[in-house]
Structure 1
Amino acid sequence: MEVAPGQEVAPNGRVEEERSALVAVAESRGTRSVTNMSKNADMLDVDLEEEFRKLCGGHPEPMILQVCNRLERAIKDMEVLVIAEVAKAIRLDTRAELQWSRESAIIQRWVEVVLQSLESESRTEENGALLETARCQRSELEELREAKRQLEQRELELQQLRAAMDTQGASRIVGTEAKNSVKYRRGADVLKILRSESKATDETKAFQGSHRGALRATAPRDGQRPTQPGHGAGRRTLGEPDYNSERYGGERE
């Protein structure tokens, strides 16, 4: 311990006595301060009570005190009832609270999974990623609608083309049938002509045959034998005159 200049060093016993005296003085001062504080509080309560009595108009009557006591009991009873109802509600809503807690945990887990899948760290980034995804999906939906519209237009054009081809095919079939009917009529006419010519030829041949038979029957009676015609003399074409018959007819005359 350093000593200031001009001060004397006191013996150790004296120093200890001074320290104990200082501690006793401090303790007595602390006790007095606490006692004074309690006295001040009591005086404050008394002052407040006196002030209340002054405001209420003098000393309280017994009936007023009874009313206050009843009101205090009613307040306490109401407090007990409220606490009981709250405890009852808590006991009854335990399952609902547990279910709500589980659902909240599941939702929180879903949010975490979505955040991890979108590679985002906050709700703001998640919302931005979701908006971008929704925008891409809307653009894809518009493209699909446009492709569907083009496909429907092409199907309509194809149906119109098929209808036109069917109409042209029907007209071609009608024209072919008309041409075939004309050909059939022409063939029938030609066949009729051929049949008439064949019939005339057959009648001519029959007439010539009957005429030759008559000549052969009359030749031995006259005693004259006709000369044998040369090779090819008996042939004649249709409409060529028979010279032998004319000659024989002249001789017969």
Structure 2
Amino acid sequence: MRIALAQCNSGTDPDANLDLLERLTERAVADGAELVIFPEAMMCRFGVPLGDVAQPLDGPWAGGVARVAERTGAAVIAGMFTPSGDGRVRNTLVIAVPGEPVRGYHKIHLYDAFGFAESRTVAPGDEPVVVDVAGHRVGVATCYDIRFPALFVELARRGAELIAVPASWGAGPGKLEQWRLLASARALDCATYVAAVGQALPDDPGLRESAAPTGIGHSRISDPFGSVIADYGAQQQLSVHDLDLSVVEKARAASAVLANQRVIPTDPTE
């Protein structure tokens, strides 16, 4: 499969961000990409009221993503925000595959960590999602989800050969090292390719110091053996990569991490 990682910066105008998504998708498809993965919060960056921009999956923003996918012939995954029905929003990935209905994944694990409380304004999802893209199974996860191995194992058990992880990673001491380690560790956990795509480091110094997670770049692709096969810097970058997905079967046969995994009983006294 030929995939593109679109490490970029979204702003606060959903229409402008959709235009950027369209331009970058066109560039990626011109280089043969079958799947283009954008960061979390591509519809609108963090640090502003999200309820004002949230739209349903059958609304104009997700519909625009679907039209880009149909016109270019490439699947597109991008972060957006949808209404939750309880006054909050959901942190959603729109998954647009040409010829298929739009799908959505609502982020399961919310970023209530490092001094940030995502759950204050965002409601969690509860269902893992795997879709068919170009004859292969692609799972999805979002940013903080990458700290939870069980989700990635479940996606692999549902057939995922590649797991796309759009993110808008927060800055801070040790955070870059954690991001790099986690991307490779999750690939090893489930013997699956992991394509972790982050918002680029903002040009605005004020946004870099924001309490909101506005991105540090350093997108990465790790193969099912945990080897790093693409590693970006902090700035904006669009690149296309060929993935040999037959490696997934070889890795699972060699490491047997899925076949040998056992359920550890919990302490009934807890």
TM-score above 0.5, yes or no: no
Q: Give the TM-score of the pair, scaled to structure 2.
A: 0.14
Q: Please say which structure displays the higher CA radius of gyration.
A: 1
Higher percent of residues as helix: 1
Q: Give the TM-score of the pair, scaled to structure 1.
A: 0.14
Determine which structure has greater relative contact order: mean sequence separation of CA pairs < 8 Å that are 6+ residues apart, divided by chain length. Answer: 2
